Every structure is written in C-alpha cells, then in structure tokens.
Amino acid sequence: MTGAEVLDIAREGIWTLLKVSGPLMLAGLGVGVAIALVQALTQIQEMTLVFVPKIFVIFLTMLLLLPFMAQSLETYMMLIMDHVVNG
C-alpha cells in the first residue's frame, strides 16, 4: 500500500466521520442556540435547562438518520475490507 492510498483512506475516514456526526452536532447546536436565546430573553439562568431538550433532539435526529449513517459506515467498511483483501 502506497502513501497516497493511505492518505486516501484517511481522507475518506475523516469525510465519513463528518457525514455521520455532522447532522447530530448541528441539531444539538441549533437547540443549544435556541434555548440560549430564550434564556437571554426571559432572563432565566438555569444551567441544566438545555440538557433535556438537546438530548431529546439529538436522539430523535439519530433515529431519523440511522439508515443514512449505517449506509455511510458500511460504504467505508467495504472500502477498508477491499484494501485488506487485495493487499
């Protein structure tokens, strides 16, 4: 395996990581910003208020995107196994 192939596999791994984790992070970020805005407008300064909605939205997003996430990880795993089998 050449250095270029290793870099291609690493690049594909990082891209797969971003595709799988990106939507979850963006959903959590969106809920966090929305709740922070509500807290700033109402002057409610409860630190634990953000955790339950954020966990709920991330869990719901994960349920909705699970087929896409599994497909992305399967594609990457097939790429890795193809390189292992072919040497």
**pLDDT tens series, the chain, 87 aa:** 788 899 999 999 999 999 999 999 999 999 999 999 998 898 888 878 889 999 999 999 999 999 999 999 999 999 999 999 987
What's the pTM? Answer: 0.81
Separation of alpha carbons 5 and 18, rounded Å: 20
Which runs of consecutive H residues, i.e. helices, occur in the chain?
3-42, 51-86
Distances (CA, A) of 74 to 9, 17, 36, 61, 84: 14, 12, 37, 19, 15
pLDDT of 48 reads 82
pLDDT of 50 reads 85
Q: Tell me the three-class secondary structure of 28-52, residue by residue.
A: HHHHHHHHHHHHHHHCCCCHHHHHH
List all residues 6 or more positions away from 70 whose beta carbon is below 8 Å from its beta carbon: none
Contact of 66 with 13, CB cutoff 8 Å: no
Contact of 75 with 19, CB cutoff 8 Å: no
